[in-house]
């Protein structure tokens, strides 16, 4: 039910073109996955998400466990039926969300005890509990429970978190029995190359269907993240998909793919859309700004999305100023379409061994050199 086909590798950069087969369809890689944290991509319907070209969406185990509860989702027929999405779904394990609850959680070898951000109730996540929740949700790809170390972080702390992640990965594998779901391990190790290599090798030995790369994009300089990626991908098996977790700015998608990554996700595109910021081929555009009050051009003349085909910057600015809900929907449609089109173009470039030229043209239009803030 789950297979990764490596179709082509760019001779110049090592960027990979692939097909990821799942029970709910084939995913062309490298791919960007829109995030539907609570079984919904914010401000959008499933039809709109499909129309912009999304092949797969990501949902959040931690949030769905707390509300409405994984048992309810299972009674509804699983996450696909519950949210009316018939394409692939990936669920994370909740590890990063629990990691984010600084002061509200306690980590032991058994698992993580944490306080709900919703009602203050106390909960325990173990690897076995995470697997039970993800099995009940029924996503095509599920992530092992891990411990993410912060940045900056002492090497000893990163090493301890890595070893705990490895032990938890073994427990996740033992607890997971649904062959319809592919369990991915997560590489940790902080920002020490030797630890990253050790983690990748350990997880490779578990022979899992795929591998996430965690603990990056947690506040470190982009140059440091880019340095870590080839260290990890160089140790991971070529015939398994590689997923860089929590990364989704246009530059990071390109830089990650050119370093051998196949899958990405991030809330960035829809979050900044709700604040009035558009991703365009010429850089970010803050449509709330007064300079667009009488600007009747589309957000991006190179974009074929519903918003750009029908509405002007002036109209979209008006919607934001009037606090109309539709403003968030239209900018979310645009931003997701922009990233998904970017990945489509990148896949075409990889197929033609021209991903390096694609990268150069992107920066020529967008600005920057890949190391700054986007």
The secondary structure element, H or E, covering residue 318 is helix 313-321
Which residues are catalytically annotated?
A: 92, 265
361 Cβ contact list (under 8 Å, min separation 6): none
List Cα–Cα distances, 159 to 96, 150, 203, 224, in angstroms. 17, 12, 15, 18
DSSP state of 244: E
Q: By the 8 A CB rule, do 60 and 92 touch?
A: yes
The label of the residue with tokens 């949030």 reads 63
Q: Helix, strand, or coil here: 51?
A: helix
DSSP state of 104: S
Closest CA to 139 of 147, 126, 149, 130: 130
The secondary structure element, H or E, covering residue 323 is none
CA angle (206, 242, 18) in 5-degree steps: 120
Structure tokens at 73: 């989702």
CA distance 130 to 145: 6
């Amino acid at each position: 039910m789950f297979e990764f086909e490596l179709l082509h590798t760019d001779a110049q950069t090592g960027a990979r073109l692939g097909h990821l087969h799942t029970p709910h369809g084939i995913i062309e890689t490298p791919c960007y996955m829109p995030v539907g944290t609570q079984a919904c991509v914010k401000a959008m319907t499933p039809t709109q998400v499909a129309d912009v070209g999304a092949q797969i969406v990501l949902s959040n185990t931690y949030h769905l466990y707390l509300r409405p509860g994984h048992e309810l989702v299972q009674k509804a027929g699983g996450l696909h039926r519950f949210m009316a999405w018939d394409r692939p779904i990936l669920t994370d394990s909740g590890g990063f969300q629990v990691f984010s609850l600084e002061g509200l959680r306690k980590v032991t070898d058994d698992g993580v005890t944490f306080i709900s951000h919703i009602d203050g109730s106390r909960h325990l996540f173990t690897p076995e509990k995470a697997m039970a929740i993800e099995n009940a949700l029924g996503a095509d790809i599920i992530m092992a429970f891990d411990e993410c170390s912060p940045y900056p972080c002492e090497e000893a702390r990163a090493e301890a978190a890595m070893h705990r992640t490895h032990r938890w990965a073994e427990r996740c594998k033992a607890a997971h029995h649904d062959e319809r779901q592919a369990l991915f391990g997560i590489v940790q190790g902080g920002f020490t190359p030797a630890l990253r290599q050790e983690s990748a090798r350990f997880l490779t030995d578990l022979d899992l269907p795929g591998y996430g790369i965690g603990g990056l994009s947690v506040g470190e300089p982009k140059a440091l993240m880019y340095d870590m990626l080839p260290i990890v991908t160089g140790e991971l098996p070529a015939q398994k998909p590689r997923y860089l977790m929590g990364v989704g700015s246009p530059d990071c998608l390109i830089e990650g793919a050119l370093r051998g990554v196949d899958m990405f996700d991030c809330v960035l595109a829809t979050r900044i859309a709700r604040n009035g910021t558009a991703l365009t081929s010429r850089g970010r555009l803050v449509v709330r700004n007064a300079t667009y009050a009488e600007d009747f051009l589309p957000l991006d003349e190179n974009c074929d999305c519903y918003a750009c085909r029908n509405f002007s910057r002036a109209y979209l600015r008006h919607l934001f100023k009037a606090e109309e809900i539709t403003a968030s929907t239209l900018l979310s449609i645009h931003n997701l379409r922009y990233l998904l089109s970017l990945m489509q173009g990148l896949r075409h470039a990889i197929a033609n061994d021209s991903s390096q030229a694609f990268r150069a043209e992107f920066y020529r239009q967008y600005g920057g050199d890949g190391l700054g803030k986007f």
